[in-house]
Amino acid sequence: MPNRTSTAASSSKFATMRIVIMGPPGVGKGTESERLIDMFGISHISTGAIFRDMFETDDPIGAIAKSYINRGELVPDDITNKIVRQRLSKQDPNQGFLFDGYPRNINQAEAFDVMLDDLNLTLDAVINISAPDELTIDRIAGRRVCSSCGAVYHVLHKKPNNEGVCDVCGAPLIQREDDMKETVRRRLKIYNDLTAPVIDHYKDKPFLHIIDGSGTMEDTHQAVMDALGVAP
Ligand code: AP5
């Protein structure tokens, strides 16, 4: 589900927007991405979700990715960049997209620039959502995800209608294997060491927006709408 294209495709100028959402684990990238793709009808390209979908297949890349992800480490760049290039090459040029979780280090940011250049594409917005580590750790502790479609819930902030059951498809809710506390701390360290510097890669671009993600989901959404210039 996280790499789906919304059926509620929008005909507005936002339907062709090309957006990157960055931020630490648990800050709410996936949550906000789901709202944007539903509003704009653009494709959601989450590298984390692509890897998790591969866990269940025979593709040997899935097993390799799983070993890195469950240790809280980045999947090697050669694998990740190749998957993104393949996915981008299939993208309808008339439809926008939202990257969630890519690029994640400087090497990926540079490779992404080359891919976009090759396809004659430019970005419209890079949105970095930030929040203190302790807050994102708490959010991840309460996260539950659908074991089938990947829909995301929270035990306090986004409860399903029936406890432990996905509203979308009825499958059981589970915790992600990489959401163990120690693994989350490793993911945060990697974010701070390798991913946060990617913000600098875009610092001279007029389309970089830094958003405070420490409020409610609605606060974050409103700040993103303001940054994108979506009228209330
Ligand atoms: P990925 O799947 O990208 O995970 P992540 O970046 O660690 O982000 P999360 O999915 O943990 O959090 P999120 O920000 O989407 O938060 P969410 O909306 O769920 O990557 C996983 C792994 O895959 C990586 O560690 C790496 O190993 C590998 N990988 C992926 N991309 C890669 C790449 N490019 N290169 C190499 N390796 C890669 O929200 C969290 C919880 O909080 C939810 O329960 C939600 O309901 C709740 N919530 C959200 N917002 C709020 C709010 N404002 N207030 C209260 N609760 C909230």
pLDDT digits (tens, 9 = 90+) for 130-145: 999 999 999 999 999 9
Considering the chain, what is the average pLDDT of its residues?
Answer: 93
Catalytic, out of 87, 139, 143, 144: 143
CA of residue 212 relative to chain centroid, distance: 16
Cα–Cα distance between 25 and 32 in angstroms, integer? 13
DSSP calls for 78-147: HHHHHHHHHHHHTS-TTS-EEEES---SHHHHHHHHHHHHHTT---SEEEEEE--HHHHHHHHHTEEEET
**pLDDT at 232 > cutoff 80:** no
143 is catalytic: yes
Q: Report pLDDT for 11.
A: 53
- In percent, the amount of the chain with pLDDT more than 70 equals 95
**pLDDT at 64 > cutoff 50:** yes
**pLDDT at 114 > cutoff 90:** yes
Give the residue, by CA position, lying nearest to ligand 1 atom 2.
48
104 is catalytic: yes
- Cβ of residue 187 lying under 6 Å from some atom of ligand 1: yes
Q: Is the dihedral of CA 92, 94, 98, 99 positive or negative?
A: positive
Buried b (16+ CB within 10 A) or exposed e, 98-108: bbbbbbbbeeb
Q: Report pLDDT for 103.
A: 98
Across the beta sheet with 208-212, what order do the strands follow?
43-46, 97-100, 18-22, 125-130, 208-212
The per-residue pLDDT for range 175-211, each reduced to its tens digit, is 999 999 999 999 999 999 999 999 999 999 999 999 9
Q: Work out which ligand 1 atom sits closest to the CA atom of 72.
A: 25
Structure tokens at 78: 């050669």
- Cβ of residue 102 lying under 6 Å from some atom of ligand 1: yes
Give the residue, by CA position, lying nearest to ligand 1 atom 6.
25
187 is catalytic: yes
Structure tokens at 153: 């819930």
Q: Report pLDDT for 4.
A: 43
177 CA → ligand 1 middle, Å: 13
186 is catalytic: no
Which residues does 101 contact at the CB level (< 8 Å), separation at least 6?
A: 29, 46, 47, 48
Confidence of residue 56 (pLDDT cuts 50, 70, 90): confident
Q: Which residue has 């929008």 as its token pair?
A: 10
Which amino acid is it at 206? P
- Cβ of residue 99 lying under 6 Å from some atom of ligand 1: no
Domains and CATH numbers, the chain: 5-132+190-228 (3.40.50.300)
35 is catalytic: no
